[in-house]
Amino acid sequence: MTHPLNGVARLPHLGIIGVEGEDAASFLQGQLTQDFALLGPSEARLAAFCSAKGRMQASFIGFKIPDLHFSRGDGDFDVKAGRVLVKHLQLSGSEADVDGHGDVLLREPIAESIPNLTLSVRPLPVAGRDIENVLRLVSGNRPPQNGTYRVSLTGTLGRPAVH
């Protein structure tokens, strides 16, 4: 029996590379086959990294993630035996509100620590479509419940996986 994908497929073997800063688009322009300066906030484009001979070495799906700034944060944490138990996390900002819980298994170096967090992200009306588009992408295009997206954060702190 086959199950239709309905346009969505999990690709756990793929990773994420983040580039940020004022010159991020111009840096990528010299490295990849797409002009990310022309990429709109709700668009995604295929890009490739090629050798000097023009042979494709890697392929990417490129998209812009809007910056989220949180002005307030509160949480209830318990640290025991190399683990941070996040009993409750609450972040408030101008673009979104986030509630979360879970734990983080601490490792050395800290980038190797393993998060297992469940987040409820509610974009605020002033945030625009950019944040909702990214949330739809990382949540597997599941529709929000009462305007709130459920997102899991796993992987490592150095290479987080959001789904």
Q: What does the pLDDT look like over 88-110, one tens digit per residue?
A: 999 998 888 999 999 999 998 88
**Helices of type H across 21-128:** 24-29
Note whether 157 and 110 are within 8 A (CB): yes
Q: Taking a C-beta distance cutoff of 8 angstroms, is the pair 35, 45 a contact? A: no
Compute how many other C-beta atoms are within 10 angstroms of the C-beta atom of residue 88.
11
Give tens-digit pLDDT for 17-30. Answer: 778 778 888 888 88
Taking the C-alpha atoms of residue 83 and residue 78, their distance in angstroms, rounded to an integer, is 8
**Could you read off the pLDDT of 71-90 as tens digits, one per residue?**
899 999 999 888 999 999 99
Instruction: State the pTM of this model.
Output: 0.62
Average pLDDT, the chain: 82
Domains and CATH numbers, the chain: 1-64 (3.30.70.1400), 70-162 (no CATH)
